[in-house]
Amino acid sequence: MQSATFYQLVNFRPKLQTFQSKTPTLFSTRRMASVSGFRRMALDGSSSSSSTVASDDGFVTLMEYMGKGGGIGVNDDLVVLIDHLQYACKRIAALVASPFNHSIGKQTSLGDFPNTGSDRDAPKPLDILSNEIILSSLQKSGKVVVMASEENDTPTWISGDGPYVVVTDPLDGSRNIDASIPTGTIFGIYKRLEELEDLPTEEKALLNSLQSGNRLIAAAYVLYSSATILCITFGSGTHAFTLDRSTGDFILTNPSIKIPPRGQIYSVNDARYFDWPEGLRQYIDTVRQGKGRYPKKYSARYICSLVADLHRTLLYGGVAMNPRDHLRLVYEANPLSFIVEQAGGRGSDGKSRILSLQPVKLHQRLPLFLGSLEDMEELESYGDIHQKVNPGYEV
Ligand SMILES: O=P(O)(O)OC[C@H]1O[C@](O)(COP(=O)(O)O)[C@@H](O)[C@@H]1O
Protein backbone atom coordinates (compact mmCIF):
# COMPACT_ATOMS: atom_id res chain seq x y z
CA MET A 1 0.00 0.00 0.00
CA GLN A 2 1.26 3.48 -0.78
CA SER A 3 1.68 6.14 1.85
CA ALA A 4 -0.51 9.19 1.68
CA THR A 5 1.07 12.32 0.28
CA PHE A 6 1.22 15.49 2.29
CA TYR A 7 -1.41 16.99 0.01
CA GLN A 8 -3.78 14.11 0.74
CA LEU A 9 -3.32 14.51 4.46
CA VAL A 10 -3.87 18.24 4.52
CA ASN A 11 -6.99 17.79 2.47
CA PHE A 12 -7.94 14.73 4.42
CA ARG A 13 -11.67 14.47 5.00
CA PRO A 14 -13.25 11.98 7.31
CA LYS A 15 -15.25 9.34 5.54
CA LEU A 16 -18.45 10.01 7.42
CA GLN A 17 -20.45 11.75 4.79
CA THR A 18 -23.10 12.79 7.25
CA PHE A 19 -20.72 15.22 8.97
CA GLN A 20 -22.13 18.69 9.01
CA SER A 21 -19.89 21.02 7.17
CA LYS A 22 -19.69 24.27 5.31
CA THR A 23 -23.29 25.36 5.48
CA PRO A 24 -24.30 25.20 9.06
CA THR A 25 -27.98 24.87 9.77
CA LEU A 26 -29.22 26.06 13.09
CA PHE A 27 -31.64 23.21 13.46
CA SER A 28 -30.10 20.40 11.57
CA THR A 29 -32.24 17.43 10.69
CA ARG A 30 -31.71 14.78 13.29
CA ARG A 31 -30.23 11.53 12.20
CA MET A 32 -30.92 8.53 14.32
CA ALA A 33 -27.81 7.64 16.27
CA SER A 34 -26.85 4.03 16.10
CA VAL A 35 -25.82 3.72 19.72
CA SER A 36 -28.65 2.26 21.69
CA GLY A 37 -29.41 2.76 25.32
CA PHE A 38 -29.17 6.53 25.68
CA ARG A 39 -32.23 7.98 27.24
CA ARG A 40 -33.61 11.43 26.90
CA MET A 41 -31.51 13.69 29.05
CA ALA A 42 -32.58 16.90 30.63
CA LEU A 43 -29.95 19.57 31.07
CA ASP A 44 -29.96 19.01 34.80
CA GLY A 45 -28.78 15.48 34.23
CA SER A 46 -32.06 13.79 35.02
CA SER A 47 -34.00 11.78 32.49
CA SER A 48 -37.10 13.89 32.63
CA SER A 49 -39.53 14.50 29.82
CA SER A 50 -39.61 18.21 30.60
CA SER A 51 -36.10 18.76 29.31
CA THR A 52 -35.36 22.27 28.06
CA VAL A 53 -33.99 20.56 24.98
CA ALA A 54 -36.94 18.69 23.63
CA SER A 55 -36.06 15.45 21.96
CA ASP A 56 -38.20 13.16 19.83
CA ASP A 57 -35.91 10.20 19.88
CA GLY A 58 -33.95 10.66 23.07
CA PHE A 59 -30.83 12.15 21.47
CA VAL A 60 -29.69 15.72 21.69
CA THR A 61 -26.96 16.80 19.32
CA LEU A 62 -24.64 19.69 19.99
CA MET A 63 -26.32 21.74 17.28
CA GLU A 64 -29.77 21.08 18.72
CA TYR A 65 -28.52 21.84 22.17
CA MET A 66 -27.30 25.23 21.06
CA GLY A 67 -30.15 25.97 18.70
CA LYS A 68 -32.96 25.14 21.07
CA GLY A 69 -31.94 27.15 24.07
CA GLY A 70 -29.51 24.86 25.88
CA GLY A 71 -26.77 27.41 25.67
CA ILE A 72 -28.03 30.54 27.32
CA GLY A 73 -26.83 33.61 25.43
CA VAL A 74 -25.86 31.53 22.41
CA ASN A 75 -26.80 33.51 19.32
CA ASP A 76 -26.82 32.51 15.66
CA ASP A 77 -23.28 33.80 15.04
CA LEU A 78 -21.92 31.67 17.83
CA VAL A 79 -23.80 28.60 16.63
CA VAL A 80 -22.24 29.02 13.20
CA LEU A 81 -18.79 29.38 14.73
CA ILE A 82 -19.16 26.31 16.97
CA ASP A 83 -20.45 24.31 14.03
CA HIS A 84 -17.27 25.08 12.11
CA LEU A 85 -15.10 24.32 15.11
CA GLN A 86 -16.73 20.98 15.78
CA TYR A 87 -16.28 20.08 12.13
CA ALA A 88 -12.59 20.98 12.36
CA CYS A 89 -12.25 18.77 15.43
CA LYS A 90 -13.87 15.84 13.64
CA ARG A 91 -11.26 16.24 10.93
CA ILE A 92 -8.50 16.29 13.55
CA ALA A 93 -10.01 13.22 15.24
CA ALA A 94 -9.83 11.39 11.93
CA LEU A 95 -6.33 12.67 11.26
CA VAL A 96 -4.83 11.54 14.57
CA ALA A 97 -6.36 8.10 14.07
CA SER A 98 -5.21 7.79 10.47
CA PRO A 99 -2.82 4.97 9.58
CA PHE A 100 -1.04 7.41 7.28
CA ASN A 101 -0.19 10.18 9.69
CA HIS A 102 3.11 8.62 10.76
CA SER A 103 4.47 9.27 7.30
CA ILE A 104 3.91 13.01 7.29
CA GLY A 105 7.12 14.79 7.92
CA LYS A 106 9.19 11.88 6.63
CA GLN A 107 8.28 12.58 3.06
CA THR A 108 7.73 16.33 3.14
CA SER A 109 9.45 19.45 4.25
CA LEU A 110 7.25 19.23 7.33
CA GLY A 111 9.81 16.80 8.65
CA ASP A 112 12.31 19.39 9.74
CA PHE A 113 10.66 21.92 11.89
CA PRO A 114 13.16 24.43 13.05
CA ASN A 115 12.67 25.62 16.56
CA THR A 116 10.77 28.86 16.22
CA GLY A 117 13.33 30.81 18.17
CA SER A 118 10.52 32.04 20.39
CA ASP A 119 9.62 30.52 23.75
CA ARG A 120 7.38 27.99 22.03
CA ASP A 121 8.25 24.33 21.69
CA ALA A 122 9.11 23.03 18.23
CA PRO A 123 5.84 21.85 16.68
CA LYS A 124 5.26 18.38 15.28
CA PRO A 125 3.76 17.87 11.84
CA LEU A 126 0.35 17.01 13.26
CA ASP A 127 0.40 20.21 15.32
CA ILE A 128 0.84 22.17 12.11
CA LEU A 129 -1.85 20.25 10.24
CA SER A 130 -4.32 20.65 13.09
CA ASN A 131 -3.57 24.34 13.19
CA GLU A 132 -4.27 24.62 9.47
CA ILE A 133 -7.52 22.70 9.82
CA ILE A 134 -8.74 25.02 12.56
CA LEU A 135 -7.63 28.16 10.78
CA SER A 136 -9.40 27.09 7.62
CA SER A 137 -12.63 26.40 9.54
CA LEU A 138 -12.49 29.76 11.24
CA GLN A 139 -11.91 31.50 7.93
CA LYS A 140 -14.89 29.73 6.39
CA SER A 141 -17.14 30.56 9.33
CA GLY A 142 -16.89 34.29 8.61
CA LYS A 143 -17.37 34.88 12.34
CA VAL A 144 -13.84 35.31 13.57
CA VAL A 145 -11.71 38.42 13.52
CA VAL A 146 -8.56 36.96 15.12
CA MET A 147 -7.19 33.53 15.88
CA ALA A 148 -4.40 33.19 18.45
CA SER A 149 -2.83 29.76 18.36
CA GLU A 150 -0.04 27.96 20.13
CA GLU A 151 1.41 27.27 16.70
CA ASN A 152 1.81 30.87 15.56
CA ASP A 153 4.19 33.41 17.05
CA THR A 154 1.65 36.19 16.63
CA PRO A 155 -2.15 36.23 16.32
CA THR A 156 -3.63 35.78 12.84
CA TRP A 157 -5.98 38.49 11.60
CA ILE A 158 -8.79 36.70 9.77
CA SER A 159 -11.72 38.89 8.86
CA GLY A 160 -12.51 42.50 9.60
CA ASP A 161 -16.19 41.66 10.15
CA GLY A 162 -15.89 38.74 12.52
CA PRO A 163 -17.52 39.30 15.92
CA TYR A 164 -15.35 36.75 17.78
CA VAL A 165 -11.78 36.08 18.82
CA VAL A 166 -10.66 32.45 19.11
CA VAL A 167 -7.66 31.30 21.15
CA THR A 168 -6.57 27.71 20.63
CA ASP A 169 -4.11 24.94 21.24
CA PRO A 170 -4.95 22.89 18.15
CA LEU A 171 -3.35 19.62 19.30
CA ASP A 172 -2.26 19.34 22.89
CA GLY A 173 -0.24 16.33 24.02
CA SER A 174 1.16 15.71 20.56
CA ARG A 175 4.50 14.62 22.00
CA ASN A 176 2.77 11.29 22.74
CA ILE A 177 1.04 10.96 19.43
CA ASP A 178 3.24 8.25 17.94
CA ALA A 179 2.13 5.94 20.75
CA SER A 180 -1.56 6.71 20.17
CA ILE A 181 -1.93 8.22 23.60
CA PRO A 182 -4.94 10.57 23.88
CA THR A 183 -4.56 14.11 22.62
CA GLY A 184 -6.89 17.09 22.61
CA THR A 185 -7.85 20.43 21.12
CA ILE A 186 -8.54 23.39 23.37
CA PHE A 187 -10.29 26.60 22.42
CA GLY A 188 -11.69 29.70 24.04
CA ILE A 189 -13.97 32.33 22.50
CA TYR A 190 -14.12 36.04 23.30
CA LYS A 191 -16.13 38.87 21.83
CA ARG A 192 -14.01 41.16 19.73
CA LEU A 193 -13.13 44.41 21.50
CA GLU A 194 -14.88 47.16 19.57
CA GLU A 195 -12.98 49.89 21.41
CA LEU A 196 -9.73 48.88 19.66
CA GLU A 197 -10.98 49.54 16.14
CA ASP A 198 -8.72 52.52 15.48
CA LEU A 199 -5.48 50.76 16.35
CA PRO A 200 -3.14 49.22 13.76
CA THR A 201 -4.13 45.66 12.84
CA GLU A 202 -1.21 43.96 14.55
CA GLU A 203 -1.86 45.72 17.82
CA LYS A 204 -5.61 45.10 17.62
CA ALA A 205 -4.99 41.42 16.98
CA LEU A 206 -2.70 41.10 19.98
CA LEU A 207 -4.85 43.04 22.44
CA ASN A 208 -7.97 41.13 21.40
CA SER A 209 -6.08 37.91 22.12
CA LEU A 210 -4.81 39.03 25.51
CA GLN A 211 -8.23 39.40 27.11
CA SER A 212 -8.53 38.21 30.65
CA GLY A 213 -10.15 34.79 31.08
CA ASN A 214 -13.12 36.24 32.93
CA ARG A 215 -14.28 37.71 29.60
CA LEU A 216 -14.55 34.31 27.90
CA ILE A 217 -18.02 33.68 26.51
CA ALA A 218 -17.37 30.02 25.63
CA ALA A 219 -14.62 27.45 25.99
CA ALA A 220 -14.24 23.84 25.00
CA TYR A 221 -11.87 20.96 24.72
CA VAL A 222 -12.10 17.99 22.44
CA LEU A 223 -10.53 14.76 23.68
CA TYR A 224 -9.34 12.30 21.04
CA SER A 225 -9.31 8.98 22.82
CA SER A 226 -11.27 5.73 22.65
CA ALA A 227 -14.18 8.14 22.24
CA THR A 228 -14.02 11.66 20.86
CA ILE A 229 -15.56 13.92 23.48
CA LEU A 230 -16.38 17.60 23.09
CA CYS A 231 -16.78 19.28 26.47
CA ILE A 232 -18.06 22.84 26.32
CA THR A 233 -19.30 25.71 28.41
CA PHE A 234 -21.16 28.84 27.38
CA GLY A 235 -21.08 30.12 30.94
CA SER A 236 -24.08 28.13 32.10
CA GLY A 237 -22.68 24.78 33.14
CA THR A 238 -20.26 22.38 31.50
CA HIS A 239 -21.62 19.76 29.14
CA ALA A 240 -19.96 16.88 27.31
CA PHE A 241 -20.97 15.49 23.94
CA THR A 242 -19.66 12.22 22.51
CA LEU A 243 -19.07 11.77 18.81
CA ASP A 244 -21.30 9.14 17.27
CA ARG A 245 -19.00 7.95 14.53
CA SER A 246 -21.83 6.44 12.53
CA THR A 247 -23.64 9.74 12.04
CA GLY A 248 -20.98 12.36 12.72
CA ASP A 249 -23.07 13.98 15.45
CA PHE A 250 -21.83 15.02 18.84
CA ILE A 251 -24.49 13.62 21.20
CA LEU A 252 -25.09 15.08 24.66
CA THR A 253 -23.86 12.41 27.07
CA ASN A 254 -22.84 14.33 30.21
CA PRO A 255 -25.14 17.30 30.78
CA SER A 256 -24.28 19.72 33.59
CA ILE A 257 -21.13 18.00 34.76
CA LYS A 258 -20.46 18.53 38.45
CA ILE A 259 -16.92 17.81 39.51
CA PRO A 260 -17.03 15.91 42.84
CA PRO A 261 -16.08 18.33 45.65
CA ARG A 262 -13.36 15.86 46.68
CA GLY A 263 -11.60 13.19 44.66
CA GLN A 264 -9.01 10.63 45.60
CA ILE A 265 -6.65 11.12 42.69
CA TYR A 266 -3.73 13.45 42.08
CA SER A 267 -2.30 13.92 38.63
CA VAL A 268 1.22 15.26 38.21
CA ASN A 269 4.53 14.29 36.65
CA ASP A 270 6.10 13.11 39.88
CA ALA A 271 9.44 12.23 38.33
CA ARG A 272 10.02 15.92 39.07
CA TYR A 273 9.62 15.34 42.81
CA PHE A 274 13.16 16.44 43.65
CA ASP A 275 12.67 19.71 41.76
CA TRP A 276 9.47 20.48 43.62
CA PRO A 277 9.23 23.04 46.41
CA GLU A 278 8.75 21.78 49.94
CA GLY A 279 5.02 22.60 50.11
CA LEU A 280 4.16 20.53 47.09
CA ARG A 281 6.26 17.59 48.28
CA GLN A 282 4.53 17.70 51.64
CA TYR A 283 1.09 17.81 50.08
CA ILE A 284 1.72 14.82 47.84
CA ASP A 285 3.43 12.85 50.64
CA THR A 286 0.46 13.55 52.88
CA VAL A 287 -2.37 12.56 50.56
CA ARG A 288 -0.46 9.50 49.35
CA GLN A 289 -0.43 8.23 52.91
CA GLY A 290 -4.08 9.06 53.54
CA LYS A 291 -3.08 11.62 56.17
CA GLY A 292 -4.72 14.66 54.57
CA ARG A 293 -8.11 16.20 55.30
CA TYR A 294 -9.66 13.23 53.52
CA PRO A 295 -8.53 10.17 55.39
CA LYS A 296 -7.99 7.86 52.42
CA LYS A 297 -4.83 7.09 50.49
CA TYR A 298 -4.82 8.90 47.15
CA SER A 299 -3.96 7.29 43.83
CA ALA A 300 -1.82 8.79 41.08
CA ARG A 301 -2.85 9.07 37.44
CA TYR A 302 -0.81 10.97 34.88
CA ILE A 303 -1.28 10.59 31.15
CA CYS A 304 0.89 13.61 30.29
CA SER A 305 -1.84 14.89 28.05
CA LEU A 306 -3.53 17.87 29.61
CA VAL A 307 -6.97 17.41 28.09
CA ALA A 308 -7.11 13.74 29.02
CA ASP A 309 -5.86 14.38 32.56
CA LEU A 310 -8.41 17.12 32.98
CA HIS A 311 -11.31 15.13 31.55
CA ARG A 312 -10.72 12.34 34.06
CA THR A 313 -10.43 14.90 36.87
CA LEU A 314 -13.74 16.53 35.89
CA LEU A 315 -15.53 13.20 36.07
CA TYR A 316 -13.80 11.55 39.04
CA GLY A 317 -12.58 14.53 41.05
CA GLY A 318 -9.16 15.25 42.54
CA VAL A 319 -6.45 17.57 41.20
CA ALA A 320 -4.61 17.75 37.90
CA MET A 321 -1.53 19.92 37.95
CA ASN A 322 1.63 21.02 36.28
CA PRO A 323 3.48 22.97 38.97
CA ARG A 324 6.23 24.46 36.78
CA ASP A 325 5.91 27.36 34.32
CA HIS A 326 5.02 25.17 31.39
CA LEU A 327 1.38 25.47 30.35
CA ARG A 328 0.11 28.52 28.55
CA LEU A 329 -2.27 31.03 30.12
CA VAL A 330 -4.05 32.30 27.02
CA TYR A 331 -5.07 29.16 25.18
CA GLU A 332 -4.67 26.39 27.77
CA ALA A 333 -5.15 27.60 31.36
CA ASN A 334 -7.91 30.12 30.68
CA PRO A 335 -10.31 27.98 28.60
CA LEU A 336 -9.76 24.94 30.85
CA SER A 337 -10.28 26.96 34.03
CA PHE A 338 -13.55 28.34 32.67
CA ILE A 339 -14.73 24.78 31.97
CA VAL A 340 -13.67 23.59 35.44
CA GLU A 341 -15.29 26.53 37.22
CA GLN A 342 -18.52 25.98 35.33
CA ALA A 343 -18.45 22.41 36.64
CA GLY A 344 -18.03 23.68 40.21
CA GLY A 345 -14.24 23.32 40.52
CA ARG A 346 -11.29 25.71 40.68
CA GLY A 347 -8.46 26.71 38.35
CA SER A 348 -5.46 28.36 39.98
CA ASP A 349 -1.78 29.15 39.49
CA GLY A 350 -1.20 28.03 43.06
CA LYS A 351 -2.24 31.34 44.54
CA SER A 352 -4.66 33.22 42.31
CA ARG A 353 -7.71 32.35 40.30
CA ILE A 354 -6.58 31.82 36.72
CA LEU A 355 -9.54 33.67 35.18
CA SER A 356 -8.64 36.87 37.06
CA LEU A 357 -5.13 37.08 35.65
CA GLN A 358 -4.34 39.63 32.97
CA PRO A 359 -2.23 38.04 30.21
CA VAL A 360 0.73 40.14 29.15
CA LYS A 361 2.23 37.84 26.51
CA LEU A 362 0.58 35.56 23.99
CA HIS A 363 2.63 32.49 24.88
CA GLN A 364 2.93 33.27 28.59
CA ARG A 365 3.53 30.20 30.74
CA LEU A 366 2.47 29.52 34.30
CA PRO A 367 1.91 26.74 36.81
CA LEU A 368 -1.58 25.28 36.56
CA PHE A 369 -3.70 23.50 39.16
CA LEU A 370 -7.22 22.38 38.25
CA GLY A 371 -9.67 20.33 40.23
CA SER A 372 -12.18 19.68 42.97
CA LEU A 373 -12.86 22.55 45.33
CA GLU A 374 -11.89 20.77 48.55
CA ASP A 375 -8.76 19.23 47.06
CA MET A 376 -7.71 22.56 45.60
CA GLU A 377 -8.28 24.34 48.91
CA GLU A 378 -6.16 21.78 50.72
CA LEU A 379 -3.39 21.88 48.11
CA GLU A 380 -3.23 25.69 48.09
CA SER A 381 -3.09 25.76 51.88
CA TYR A 382 0.47 24.38 51.57
CA GLY A 383 1.44 27.75 50.05
CA ASP A 384 4.70 26.77 48.46
CA ILE A 385 3.54 24.72 45.47
CA HIS A 386 4.99 26.57 42.47
CA GLN A 387 7.99 24.68 41.07
CA LYS A 388 10.56 27.34 40.24
CA VAL A 389 13.35 24.93 39.30
CA ASN A 390 12.63 24.35 35.63
CA PRO A 391 15.70 22.91 33.95
CA GLY A 392 13.97 21.95 30.68
CA TYR A 393 13.32 18.27 30.67
CA GLU A 394 14.08 16.13 27.66
CA VAL A 395 10.98 13.93 27.97
O1 LIG B 1 6.61 17.52 30.86
P2 LIG B 1 5.49 17.81 31.78
O3 LIG B 1 5.85 18.88 32.77
O4 LIG B 1 4.98 16.57 32.46
O5 LIG B 1 4.33 18.47 30.91
C6 LIG B 1 3.36 17.72 30.25
C7 LIG B 1 2.29 18.59 29.75
O8 LIG B 1 2.75 19.23 28.61
C9 LIG B 1 1.80 19.08 27.58
O10 LIG B 1 2.23 18.06 26.73
C11 LIG B 1 1.65 20.37 26.85
O12 LIG B 1 2.88 20.73 26.30
P13 LIG B 1 2.91 21.03 24.75
O14 LIG B 1 1.86 22.09 24.53
O15 LIG B 1 4.30 21.53 24.55
O16 LIG B 1 2.57 19.75 24.04
C17 LIG B 1 0.52 18.65 28.26
O18 LIG B 1 -0.34 17.95 27.44
C19 LIG B 1 1.04 17.86 29.40
O20 LIG B 1 0.11 17.90 30.43
Q: Looking at the domain assignment, is residue 91 inside a domain?
A: yes
Q: Which of the listed residues 113, 149, 305, 324 should we mutate to test ligand 1's pocket, taking the one with most ligand atoms within 8 A of CB?
A: 305
Q: Looking at the domain assignment, is residue 369 inside a domain?
A: yes
Task: Indicate whether 325 and 179 sit together in one domain.
Answer: no
Task: Indicate whether 270 and 250 sit together in one domain.
Answer: no
Task: Indicate whether 303 and 204 sit together in one domain.
Answer: no
Cα–Cα separations (whole angstroms), residue 382 to 98, 148, 279, 376:
45, 35, 5, 10
The residue count for the chain: 395
Domain end position, chosen among 226, 254, 282: 254
Indicate which atom in ligand 1 lies nearest the CA of residue 176: 10
Indicate which atom in ligand 1 lies nearest the CA of residue 174: 16
Domain end position, chosen among 213, 234, 254: 254
Average pLDDT of the segment spanning 311-335: 98
Q: Looking at the domain assignment, is residue 365 inside a domain?
A: yes
Task: Indicate whether 276 and 234 sit together in one domain.
Answer: no
User: What's the gap in Å between 165 CA and the centre of ligand 1?
Assistant: 24
- Residue whose C-alpha is closest to residue 216's, from 132, 305, 341: 341
The answer, yes or no, to whether residue 117 has pLDDT greater than 80, is no
CATH number at residue 341: 3.40.190.80
Q: Looking at the domain assignment, is residue 119 inside a domain?
A: yes
User: What's the gap in Å between 269 CA and the centre of ligand 1?
Assistant: 10
Tell me which residue has its CA closest to atom 4 in ligand 1: 269
Task: Indicate whether 205 and 273 sit together in one domain.
Answer: no
The answer, yes or no, to whether residue 8 has pLDDT greater than 60, is no
User: What's the gap in Å between 301 CA and the centre of ligand 1?
Assistant: 15
Task: Indicate whether 244 and 336 sit together in one domain.
Answer: no
Predicted pLDDT at 58 = 79
Q: Which of the listed residues 326, 387, 390 should we mutate to test ligand 1's pocket, taking the one with most ligand atoms within 8 A of CB?
A: 326
Angle, vertex CA 184, rays to CA 180 and CA 395, nearest 5 = 60
The β-bridge relationship of strands 319-328 and 365-371 is: antiparallel
Q: Distance (Å, rounded) from C-alpha 383 to C-alpha 277? A: 10
Q: Distance (Å, rounded) from C-alpha 245 to C-alpha 76? A: 26
Average pLDDT of the segment spanning 335-356: 98
- The total of structural domains in the chain comes to 2
Indicate which atom in ligand 1 lies nearest the CA of residue 127: 16
Q: Which domain holds residue 205?
A: 56-254
Predicted pLDDT at 45 = 38
Q: Looking at the domain assignment, is residue 363 inside a domain?
A: yes
> pTM of the entire structure?
0.87
Task: Indicate whether 285 and 179 sit together in one domain.
Answer: no
Task: Indicate whether 131 and 193 sit together in one domain.
Answer: yes
User: What's the gap in Å between 306 CA and the centre of ligand 1?
Assistant: 7
Q: Looking at the domain assignment, is residue 301 inside a domain?
A: yes
Q: Looking at the domain assignment, is residue 23 inside a domain?
A: no
Predicted pLDDT at 104 = 72
Write down the H helix ranges in 34-75. 62-67
Residues at CB less than 6 angstroms from ligand 1: 121, 172-175, 269, 304-306, 322, 326, 393
Instruction: Count CB atoms within 10 A of the CB of residue 3.
Output: 14
Task: Indicate whether 153 and 290 sit together in one domain.
Answer: no
- Residue whose C-alpha is closest to residue 33's, from 67, 64, 59, 63: 59
Task: Indicate whether 219 and 289 sit together in one domain.
Answer: no
ipTM of the complex: 0.96
Q: Which of the listed residues 307, 327, 331 should we mutate to test ligand 1's pocket, taking the one with most ligand atoms within 8 A of CB?
A: 327
User: What's the gap in Å between 92 CA and the centre of ligand 1?
Assistant: 19
Tell me which residue has its CA closest to atom 1 in ligand 1: 395
Task: Indicate whether 129 and 226 sit together in one domain.
Answer: yes
Indicate which atom in ligand 1 lies nearest the CA of residue 184: 18
User: What's the gap in Å between 307 CA and the centre of ligand 1?
Assistant: 10
Average pLDDT of the segment spanning 44-50: 36
Task: Indicate whether 281 and 202 sit together in one domain.
Answer: no
Kindly report which listed range (194-198, 277-281, 369-373) carries the lowest average pLDDT score. 194-198
Domain end position, chosen among 192, 225, 254: 254
The answer, yes or no, to whether residue 19 has pLDDT greater than 50, is no
Summarize pLDDT for 227-246 with one digit per residue, the tens.
999 999 999 999 999 999 99
Q: Looking at the domain assignment, is residue 10 inside a domain?
A: no
CATH number at residue 145: 3.30.540.10
The residues that are catalytic are 121, 127, 150-151, 169, 171-172, 332
pLDDT range class, residue 10, cuts 50, 70, 90? very low
